[in-house]
Amino acid sequence: MTSNTPDRSRTRFPGISSRAYEHPADRSALVALRSLSGFDTVLKRLAGLFSERAIRLMFLGGSVRASETQFRNINDMVRDSAYILDLPEVPELYVTQDPTPNAMAIGTDHPFIVLNTGLVDLLDDEELRFVVAHEVGHVLSGHAVYRTMALILTNLGSRIAWLPFGNIAISAILMGLNEWQRKSELSADRAGLLAGQDVDAGKRALMKLAGGGRLTEMDAEAFREQAREYDAAGDVRDGLLKFLNLLSRSHPYAVVRFAELEHWANEGDYQRILGGDYPRRTDDANASISEEIKNAARAYRESWSRSEDPFIGVVKGAAEGAVNVGEKIFSRFGGRGDDDRNRDS
Q: Which residues are catalytic?
A: 135
Q: Which of 26, 299, 290 is nearest to 180 (CA)?
A: 26
Rounded CA separation 17/194 (Å): 12
Which amino acid appears at position 37 of this protein? S
**Residue 114 backbone phi and psi in degrees, to 5:** -125, 130
Cα dist from 333 to 94, 180, 242, 253, 338, whole Å: 41, 19, 32, 33, 9
Q: Which of 286, 293, 289, 292 is nearest to 344 (CA)?
A: 286
3-class secondary structure per residue, the chain: CECCCCCCCCCCCCCECHHHCCCHHHHHHHHHHHHCCCHHHHHHHHHCCCCHHHHHHHHHHHCEECCCCCCHHHHHHHHHHHHHCCCCECCCEEEECCCCCCEEEECCCCCEEEEEHHHHHHCCHHHHHHHHHHHHHHHHHCHHHHHHHHHHHHHHHHHCCCCCCHHHHHHHHHHHHHHHHHHHHHHHHHHHHHHHCCHHHHHHHHHHHHHCCCHHHCCHHHHHHHHHHHHHCCCHHHHHHHHHHHCCCCCCCHHHHHHHHHHHHHHCHHHHHHCCCCCEHHHHHHCCHHHHHHHHHHHHHHHHHHCCCHHHHHHHHHHHHHHHHHHHHHHHHHHHHHHHHHHHC
